[in-house]
Amino acid sequence: MKIYRTLRQAFGHRGWWPGETPFEVMVGAVLTQRTNWGNVEKAIANLRDAGLMAPDALARTEPERLQALVRPAGYYRQKTARLLRLVTWLMDRAGGDIEALREVPTDELRAELLALSGIGPETADSILLYAFGRATFVVDAYTKRIMARHELIDSACTYDELKDFFESNLPADVELFKDYHAQLVELGKRYCRTVPLCGTCPLHPLLGDPVRDEEL
DNA sequence: GTCCAGGGCCTAC
DNA sequence: GTAGGCCATGGA
């Protein structure tokens, strides 16, 4: 927990995923794919203003209308199709009620989400962690970049390998996983965009001190 | 004007 | 199995 403690000390608790409801978090997870969050917020506001931030209403919306609302988030044709598939799944599976999925095992839900075209590992795990409250670690571009730059992982490792690396070396705690991922994104945004290895990065002082798996 | 964001899919070798 | 192209908008 050395890395986590260091980040948390630097940035404070983040907890993080903007969204008024679990359903909005789920929608945001699709809209934010390869997209700046500022653009996602515009699309979310459009959906909210149109009264479509609810599973049943969204599922019944015409694709053409949805495309116009989702447009600011980019890739709007793809994202419209992805949102409709996701919300249709939620309606079919649980009548649109995320709470009703409470008894379903996480692995099962993950497999069902991944089976939807347009929902890959990161989007599925974001939904599981931040919308469904499951202890699933989310790996994103920042996570991989940060871990590789600090030579904690092989830069060629896969999504699942990196996810397992975190999950097998941390207690399976939802709040910890949420905040840890948020911390890594914050670090990535501030220090890990262009500079290969930045001396002012809060993790920098740890480098002389070999970081072992259990010190994640 | 150029770069690129909290991915994922499809196609070619 | 993996590299490369494609999807699209808006802010720096």
CB atoms within 10 A of CB A9: 9
Residues A72 and A103 both lie in one domain: yes
Last residue in a domain, options A88, A103, A131:
A131
Residues A126 and A177 both lie in one domain: no
What does pLDDT average to over chain A? Answer: 93
Residues A204 and A151 both lie in one domain: yes
C1’ B9 / CA A35, Å: 17
**What pTM was estimated for this model as a whole?**
0.95
- pLDDT at position A159, please? 95
Q: Find the helix or strand (DSSP H, E) in which A22 lies.
A: helix A22-31
C1’ B7 / CA A209, Å: 34
Closest nucleotide C1' to the C-alpha of A114: B8
Last residue in a domain, options A131, A162, A194:
A131
Each residue's pLDDT expressed in tens, for chain A with a length of 216 residues: 889 999 999 999 998 899 999 999 999 999 999 999 999 999 999 999 999 999 999 999 999 999 999 999 999 999 999 999 999 999 999 999 999 999 999 999 999 999 999 999 999 999 999 999 999 999 999 999 999 888 888 888 999 999 999 999 999 999 999 999 999 999 998 887 766 667 788 988 887 665 665 688
Closest nucleotide C1' to the C-alpha of A39: C10
C1’ C6 / CA A9, Å: 41
Those nucleotides of strand C lying less than 7 Å from any protein Cβ are 2, 7-11
- pLDDT at position A79, please? 98
The residues, any chain, with a CB within 8 Å of residue A124's CB and separated by 6 or more, are A110, A113, A114
Residues A167 and A125 both lie in one domain: no
The distance from CA A71 to its chain's CA centroid, rounded to whole angstroms, is 21
> What percentage of chain A's residues is helix, strand, coil (to nearest 5)?
60, 0, 40
- State how many domains chain A has: 2
Q: What is the pLDDT of residues A77-103, one digit of tens each?
A: 999 999 999 999 999 999 999 999 999
Last residue in a domain, options A77, A109, A131:
A131
Ordered alpha helix ranges (H), A73-173: 76-94, 106-114, 121-126, 141-149, 159-167
User: By the 8 A CB rule, do A141 and A105 touch?
Assistant: no
Nearest residue for C9, CA–C1': A74
Structural domain harbouring A119? 22-131
Cα–Cα distance for residue pair A90/A101, rounded to 1 Å: 9
Residues A114 and A143 both lie in one domain: no
